[in-house]
Each structure stands twice: as C-alpha cells, then as structure tokens.
Amino acid sequence: MALIEHVCLNCADLEKEKSFYVAYFGFLSNPKYHNPKSGWENYFLVSPDGGARLELLAHDGMGKETKDGLTSGLVHFALALGSAEAVDAMALRLKQDGYVLLSGPRRTGDGYYEAAFLDPEGNKVEITV
C-alpha cells in the first residue's frame, strides 16, 4: 500500500509561498534546504496534525520554462512505500514493465531515498521510503 507522502510546487517567490501556507493554513516549515550544485532551494511544510506534506521548490531558471516544462505549479507527487527495499523493488518492476525511470533509486542531498518515473500520462511521480 502506498501513501501520498508529499506534493511539490514550483515557486517563483519561495518565501512568499512559504509565508502564505504558514499564515493561512497553519503549516509548519523545516529550515530552508539549498543545493549549491543545482541551485535548488526548498521548504517542506507539514500540518501540525500530520498527513501529506507540501514541498515548495525554487531554482535557478525560475521564470523560464524548466526541464519539467513548468514555470510554476505542480512538479510531482511522492508516494511513500515504507522501505528502501520496497522502493528498489517497485523501481525494478516499473522499469521491467516499460515505464520511464527518470532517476534512482538513490539517496538525495536532502536525505530522501527515492526513484522518479513518469506515469502513463506523463506525470512525474516519486516513490520514497
């Protein structure tokens, strides 16, 4: 069984977006993560009572079309599978069934163990622990 772990939004103004979701919806924020190699910055926001998280992402090139084809809006959603072994097994299964793996399985700079793929309609999906 998979649970929605998080949804990611591209943001032209990361601080403004974070402030909006904190002020209006009561989300709590982690400290900003910055990857100097990619230029990406993000916050993960979580509701005080749990549930799926919201990732807010900004990166060099915002305001131009990104490799995801977006300037703002939905980037991906992530499904939690429960273990690194489950991520490995699902990534292998998806690849064997002909789905396009975009990355992974791998450990990311901000600590996730994940793989990313495209669903049948081209939506980017991450599978995580």
> What pLDDT, in 10s, does the model give residues 33-70?
999 888 889 999 998 888 889 899 887 655 545 555 55
Looking at the structure, do residues 89 and 60 belong to the same domain, yes or no? no
Looking at the structure, do residues 1 and 49 belong to the same domain, yes or no? yes
Q: Which of 121, 48, 127 is nearest to 88 (CA)?
A: 127
Of the residues 72, 90, 118, the one at which a domain ends: 72
Q: Which of 50, 49, 37, 119 is nearest to 78 (CA)?
A: 119
pLDDT for residue 45: 93
Q: Which of 89, 90, 86 is nearest to 129 (CA)?
A: 86
pLDDT for residue 68: 55
The CATH number that applies at residue 12 is: 3.10.180.10
| Whether residue 32 has pLDDT greater than 70 | yes
Q: pLDDT tens digit string along 87-126? A: 999 999 999 999 889 999 999 988 889 999 887 767 788 9
Top mean pLDDT of 13-17, 22-26, 31-35 is at: 31-35
